[in-house]
């Protein structure tokens, strides 16, 4: 099917058939929507079981957890840094989010003297840094 346009004062102009693909790429050159959409049934089933299609299943130890952190290292009122972020002063009681077995860097910066650094391992419910 062809479409004919008539412009005032000019000869008739014929355009390309309506079913022809455009001469450029873009949204018209994409595959049909059914080719690139995820399988919704598989995703629903994965949501019920906790499994995501194409990914390894997660276990409890691989997920980060919030753990209690206690720091009593160095002189009173020394500044405490956890993984490079200032979190408070000694004695410090707070929380840190880490995976089981992950190392957490605790730095204590006293008012005078050299900083104290400890690497603690996330195990159990709480992590303690003591003298």
Cβ neighbours around 107 below 10 Å, total: 19
Name the residue ranges covered by the structural domains of the chain.
60-130
Residue 5 has pLDDT above 50, yes or no: no
**One CATH from 2.60.40, 3.40.50, 2.60.120, 2.40.50 for 60-130:** 2.60.40
End-to-end CA distance of the chain: 87
The 10s digit of each residue's pLDDT in 7-59 is: 455 454 445 455 555 555 555 555 555 556 667 777 677 666 655 555 655 56
- Rg (C-alpha) for the chain, rounded Å, is 32
Question: Residues 65-104: pLDDT tens digits?
Answer: 999 999 999 999 999 999 999 999 999 999 999 988 899 9
Contacts of 71 (CB under 8 A, 6+ apart): 80, 90, 91, 92, 93, 106, 108, 128, 129
Assign 106 a pLDDT band (cuts: 50, 70, 90). very high
Please report where in the chains the tokens 């009122």 appear, as a residue: 77
């Amino acid at each position: 099917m062809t479409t004919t346009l008539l412009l005032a004062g000019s000869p008739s102009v014929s355009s390309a058939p309506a079913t022809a693909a455009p001469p450029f790429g873009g949204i018209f050159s994409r595959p049909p929507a059914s080719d690139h959409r995820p399988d919704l049934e598989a995703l629903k089933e994965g949501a019920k079981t906790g499994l995501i299609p194409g990914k390894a299943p997660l276990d409890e130890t691989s997920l980060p957890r919030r753990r209690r952190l206690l720091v009593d290292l160095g002189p009173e009122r020394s500044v405490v840094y956890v993984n490079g972020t200032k979190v408070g002063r000694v004695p410090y009681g707070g929380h840190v989010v880490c995976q089981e077995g992950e190392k957490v860097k605790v730095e204590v910066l006293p008012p005078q003297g050299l900083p104290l650094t400890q690497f603690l391992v996330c195990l159990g419910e709480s992590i303690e840094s003591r003298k």
